[in-house]
Structure 1
Amino acid sequence: MRVLVVGAGAVGGYFGGRLLEKGEDVTFLVRNRRKEQLLKTGLVIKSQHGDALLRPQLLVSGEQPEPYDVILLSMKAYQLDAAISDIAPYVGADTLIIPLLNGMAHVEKLAHAFGKETILGGLCFVEATLDQDGAVVQTSAIHDLVFGIRNGEQTERIKRITEAFSETKSNFVLSDNINQAMWQKYLFITTLAGITTLFRSPLGPIRDESLGALTMKQTLQEAEQIMRSIGAPLGEEIVENNWDKLHSIEATIKSSMQRDMEKGLPVEADHFYGYLLNIAKENGIAAPTLEKIYANLKIYERQMGFRWG
């Protein structure tokens, strides 16, 4: 099973690295600067689940065009258009693409580019970042990658992928209802990213402050209402379950979007919140808390000179 990981940042570097550590045939498609760094230092993983120093195969877009069995997309949503162009030479008739982007807006765009049967569902739960030397630093107990066929079928190809993804030092989980899992993750991360970026704080101090907790609940409820207005398969008691989850995870946890803001990097304001607010507008749903979160992110983008969206 030949695996191409698009991006060797925190997410791609961690999960691709765990596959490589196991002995799978993994190649990373990266930019020139990251390639030079990895050639010098190797792919370094620092994690409570085990450190690793790996020497991966590396490609820059356009090199060695040939199809891969699986392509893992681990970049940010604002890099999606470029990634679609970059991976085209590596997509064959039997290639399956697993996007690990948060949200849902990317699925239709990928299906339009490569065909809906080529695009699996995917998501991950991992708190990871790159340090100043380019090492992947993974900092919490959770390190799950969930994937599955969006129509629920279990094919021979998905069985082969599941076998390849098994027995690593991270958790690769095959879901029989990946659409629901993706929407549920979208609801959770909309809330976590929204409040941590709005208050510029880890989760714990926000939930310990009464008005912070209220904002968290309002974010969760508004996002759920918008998603249900288009028939998103969220399942029952999703608000209560997410509320409990947000109170059970580590107080020190930060969203990846908050970490990006702290580093002065772009954020996914439109992919996360613009998408939901457009649905809210079309359906006449009030979402004042989400509007404030979105405004905060758009102001940040403009202050930093990021002008898309």
Structure 2
Amino acid sequence: MKILVVGAGAIGGYFGGRLLEKGQDVTFLVREGRKQALEKTGLQIESINGNAKLVPRLITINDSGETFDLILLSTKSYHLAQAIEDIRPFVNNETTILPLLNGIAHLDQLIEAFGEDAVIGGLCFIETTLDDQGKILQKSPSHQLIYGERSGERTPRIEKVRDVFNGANASFELSTQITQEMWHKYLFITTLSGITSLMESPIGPIMELDTGRHTVESFLEELAAIMRKMGAPIQETITTDLANKISSLPYNMKSSMQRDLEKSLPLEADHLQGYLLQHANGMAVPILETIYTKLRIYEKNN
């Protein structure tokens, strides 16, 4: 399969790099500045799971003329509209699009742009960043990418994707319940990002206080109630499961949203917390309203 990875940043660069390392036909769609930098340094991965220095094939939006079988999309939600326009020239009627964004709202945007059949489900669990030289740094064991047909079917195309992913030095996992898994991660990441950003604290000090733990548990229940009202296929025990998962996180763990807030960077508040608030429709969700208000005030001031 011809694979196009949109961007060569911390997530796309890592998983695309692992596929390239395996010997797959991978091309990276990048900005001109990143292209020039990578042409000098190569795509470098420094990871607890194994280092790699690769020579990637690079194109920019000015290099249209070919299409791809599979497109990996891991942009931030506030860059999605532009990313959709950037990849249009590289999409044909058989192209499969695998988004790795947090949340759910991006699915509707991608389906509207490319059609119901083009978009499969996906998510990832990985802590990774770029250093000042553009090297990809990945320091924790987890490097998991989960994907599957949103219908749960084992279609011929998803089996082809599985064959391409198998054997790469990362945990590529085919799921027949990808839609449920995306909603579960949405609940997890929206809670963790919202609480740590509101409290301006890593998760450990929050969870060691009875009031902090109660706030996390109540927030999970608020969000789950909205999701159930929306018809989301979440498990009955998911709020308890995620409360336990959050309790087991490293003491100094910060969400990426909290880190972005500390650096005065853009946030995904509308895509995560805001999307659910829009669907609350009169439900009592005081914690969600408080968190969203804080994030919106931050965005107005930055």
Q: What TM-score comes out, normalization by structure 1 length?
A: 0.94
In structure 1, C-alpha distance between the alignment counterparts of 2:237 and 2:94, rounded to whole Å: 38
2:283 equivalent among 282, 285, 305: 285
Given candidates 295, 298, 302, the residue that maps to 1:297 is 295
| 1:105-120 paired onto structure 2 within 5 Å | 105-120=105-120
Q: Secondary structure at the match of 1:10?
A: coil
Tell me the distance in 2 between the aligned counterparts of 1:257 and 1:95: 31
Provide the residue aligned with 2:30 in structure 1: 30
Describe the SS at the equivalent of 2:279: helix
SS in 1 for 2:4: strand
Paired AA for residue 81 in structure 2 = D
Deviation track 1:166-223 (CA, whole Å, cap 9, x = no partner) reads 1122111111011101111100111111112222222222212332222211221111
Q: Distance in 1 between matches of 2:263 and 2:36?
A: 21
For the 8 Å contact 1:194–1:219, the answer to whether it is kept is no
Gaps of 5+ in 1: 305-309
- In the TM superposition, residue 149 of structure 1 has moved relative to its aligned partner by 0.6
Name which of structure 1's ranges 285-294 and 33-42 shifts more when overlaid on structure 2: 33-42
CA distance in 2, matches of 1:253, 1:17: 26
Structure 1 residue 37 displacement after superposition? 2.1
Distance 2:257 2:117 in 1: 30
Aligned equivalents of 2:237 and 2:204: distance in 1? 23
| Separation in structure 2 between the aligned mates of residue 292 and residue 95 of structure 1, nearest angstrom | 41
DSSP 3-state at the match of 1:142: strand
Tell me, in whole angstroms, the C-alpha distance in 1 between the residues paired with 2:132 and 2:294: 27
Normalising to structure 2: TM-score of the pair?
0.96
Which residue identity does 2:59 align to in structure 1?
L
CA deviation vs aligned residue, 1:227-256 (integer Å, no higher than 9, x gap): 011110001200111111112232233222
Contact 1:127 1:253 (C-alpha < 8 Å) held by counterparts? no
Equivalent residue number for residue 170 of structure 1 = 170
CA contact (8 A) 1:127 1:255 kept: no
CA distance in 1, matches of 2:62, 2:234: 39
Partner in structure 2 of residue 307 of structure 1: none
Once the two structures are superposed, residues 72-106 of structure 1 have per-residue CA deviations (whole angstroms, 9 ceiling, x without a partner) of: 00100011110110000111111100011111111
Count of aligned pairs between the two proteins: 302
Match of 1:41 in 2: 41
d(CA) in 2 for partners of 1:234, 1:100: 19
C-alpha contact 1:104 1:186 (8 A) present in aligned 2: yes
Report the alpha carbon displacement of residue 268 of structure 1 after superposing the two structures with TM.
0.6
Distance in 2, Cα, partners of 1:293 & 1:129: 26
Q: In percent, how many aligned pairs have the same letter?
A: 53
Shift of the alpha carbon at 1:159? 0.6
Choose 29-38 or 250-259, whichever is displaced more: 250-259
CA distance in 2 between partners of 1:37 and 1:296 (Å): 37
Within a 5 Å distance, the mapping from 1:266-277 to structure 2 comes to: 266-277=266-277
Amino acid at match of 1:255: S
Contact kept in structure 2, 1:127 and 1:256, CA below 8 Å:
no
Provide the residue aligned with 1:71 in structure 2: 71
- Separation in 1, partners of 2:259, 2:105: 22
Q: Distance in 2 between matches of 1:145 and 1:68?
A: 20
Instruction: Give the distance between the partners of 2:212 and 2:137, measured in 1 at CA.
Output: 28
5 Å-filtered alignment, 1:100-249, equals 100-249=100-249
User: Contact (CA 8 Å) 1:70, 1:98: kept in 2 or not?
Assistant: yes
SS of 2:138's partner is strand
